[in-house]
Structure formats: C-alpha cells, structure tokens
Amino acid sequence: MDTDPNSSVLVTGGRGFIGRAVVKLLRREGYRVVSLDTSAPHSVRDDRESVHEVVCDISDAEELRRMFDAESIGGIIHLAAILPTMAQREPLRATRVNVTGSVNLLDMALRFGVRRFVFGSSLSVYGTCAADQVVSESDRAAPEDIYGAAKVYVEQLGQACRARHGVEFVSLRIGRVVGSGSGSTTSAWRSQIFELLGSSQAVQIAVPYVGSERLLLVHVEDVARMMVTLLQTLRPGHAIYNAPCEAMVVADLKREVEALNRNINVTLGEAFAVGNPRLLESERFRQEFGFEVTPIAARLRSAASLCSS
C-alpha cells in the first residue's frame, strides 16, 4: 500500500465485529486509521488521535467522494456489508450497500490513486458443498443467496479493475467468525461460547446445528491478522484467497465449551450447514504468508483462563 506517512488506512464497517478488531490491530501496528460506518460511535475513543471516526453511507457516491476529498487514504480494507439474514429480509437495501456501495468505493480508489484494496469476502460464494468436498480457490463460485452473489460480483469487478487499472485488489473469503463482542442476534452462540465462560450461574447456549455437522470457524482476531497481512504485503501473488479456518465438528465444540465451565449447557439443534462448504483448502494463504490460525480450542481455553484470573 501507499507508504506516505500522512496517509491513512480506510476501514469500512469499522464499528462492526471484524472492523473493530482490524482497527485495533492497525493502531497497534502504528497506522493512522479512518474508521467508516453508518452510525456514530457510542462513546469517544481515548485513541482518537490515531483513529478518525467517520459517519458515511458508502451507497451515497457524493457523500463518499466528500470523505475522500477530506482524507488522504493510502489503503482500504472494505468490510461494510448487509449480512446474510438481513440481506434476505431487505434485498434492495442489501444490494445498494453490498453492490453499489462497493462499486462506489472501487471508483473512489481509482479516482484518488489508492493502490491497495482489501475486500472482506465470504466462503458463501461457494454455496452448499458435499460433506467430503474440500473447496479451493479454483472451485467454481455457486452462491445461493444475494449476499454471496454480491461478494462474487465485487470480486469479479475488483479483478477487472486490477487487470485494467492497476489497483491492487485482493479478496479474502472468510468463514464463520467467532469471538467475544459480535452483538449478533441471529448467531449469538458465536460470541456466547467465549463471553459466558466465566459464568457462575447455569446458562444455556443454543447452537442450531446437529452434532455431526462440520463448521468452518475462525476467530475474529485471526481474521484481523489476515486482513492486515494482505494490506501490508508488498505484492500479493493472487487476487483471491480462502481464509484459513478450522473445520470443527459441532459435538466437539459442545464438549470443549462445557468442559471449561460446568455451568454451561450447550444445546444442539437439527439444522445442517447450508450455503457454505464444510472442508476448505487454504494452503494458498498459509504458504504465501507463513500464516497459521490459533485453534478454536486454544482460544476457548485462553478466554476461560482470563475469566478465572
């Protein structure tokens, strides 16, 4: 990315689950950050000198242009999106944000000479796959909803801009993200398995999947490390990477969590994973960047240890 010391990294969706982790890591790495979202932060940051909070709707091209006029942006990490459940409920709004907003952002990157554009994509681009199918970047995209379809479109557009205009577009296809602080109402278990580890009273965590199902899980801090790695690398070898994830059996996840706190009861449902693969090939990212994720079990044990200290 641009090494101009006066430039900033723009993080769209900067107040979202992954966005907050990315902003935190960028600050630790010494970057100046512009954190963009559609709502103002709930409180004033103590780190406001290195993080500029901006309220902006990326689907509004003129509003976005004014932001780029006011800021010196050296690189972009694009995470802003309407997520799958809400996208199904509000498909037109989701298209305005996930497609039009991304088009606007790429347009601004070209206009203002931003070289590196890191896109937060999703493993949902592959659609539902057979239980034994190991999916790699060479497998054909077959999304089953407008969320996944939007990700595929932006990847195609980004690669076209990379080929024709030289913008360094690179996409990371991310699995199911877990960790404290997601604030999700539709998949609350992804955070609860960490947040409730210190509970001194009986609590229940509902995971909707059958015990034999496999889920591709990745911790939010590992996702942040991957995004920043793609921002920092001198010359990415590819335009698309699968994010290294752990294929975890749901019954094993239940045992891990319950073993760490006897007050927790993890109940399982009858659902099967749809819209995403179950097994993943991510050697492209691992080998090119020497990257390894921390196992989910180790993340859980670490979180439990912090709760008891």
| The CATH fold of domain 178-215+245-274+294-308 | UDP-galactose 4-epimerase; domain 1 (3.90.25)
In 3-state terms, what secondary structure has residue 170?
Answer: strand
User: Can you read off the two tokens belonging to residue 257?
Assistant: 């969590």
127 backbone φψ class: left, alpha, beta (φ>0; ψ -120 to 50): left
**Distance in angstroms (rounded) separating the CA atoms of residues 104 and 114:** 13
**This prediction's pTM:** 0.95
Geometric angle at alpha carbon 68, from 66 and 71, rounded to 5°: 110
Strand partners, 209: 271
* Model confidence band, residue 46 (pLDDT cutoffs 50, 70, 90): very low
Instruction: List the domain boundaries for the chain.
Output: 8-176+217-242, 178-215+245-274+294-308
pLDDT digits (tens, 9 = 90+) for 228-254: 999 999 999 999 999 999 999 999 999
The reply to whether domains 8-176+217-242 and 178-215+245-274+294-308 share a CATH topology is no
CATH fourth-level superfamily of 8-176+217-242: NAD(P)-binding Rossmann-like Domain (3.40.50.720)
pLDDT digits (tens, 9 = 90+) for 180-215: 998 888 899 999 999 999 999 999 999 999 999 999
Strand partners, 12: 36, 78
The confidence score (pLDDT) of residue 91 equals 97
